[in-house]
Amino acid sequence: MKKIYVSILTFCLIISLNSCAVIGGIFKAGAAVGVLAVVVVVALIIWIISLMRGKSQ
């Protein structure tokens, strides 16, 4: 059980550190690039959700 807990904790740390690096890169690139990146990610999420809902019907 302890091994699973350590693996999950390590995985969460890796993901959180990578996301901080991405956000830092966006701020270095500028606000316009940050807004564009957010729009692209939101559009991608909406597209994936629409694909999932279309297959279930």
Predicted confidence at residue 43, as pLDDT, reads: 94
29 versus 46: which is more confidently predicted? Answer: 46
Pick the range with the lowest mean pLDDT from 12-16, 24-28, 48-52.
12-16
Q: What is the mean pLDDT of residues 16-29?
A: 70
Q: In degrees to the nearest 10, what's the CA dihedral of 39, 43, 45, 49?
A: 160
Higher pLDDT, 6 or 45: 45
48: which 2 tokens? Answer: 């994936």
Global confidence as pTM: 0.47
- pLDDT greater than 80 at residue 48: yes
Give 41-57 as a DSSP string. HHHHHHHHHHHHHHHH-
Beta carbons of 32 and 39 less than 8 angstroms apart = no
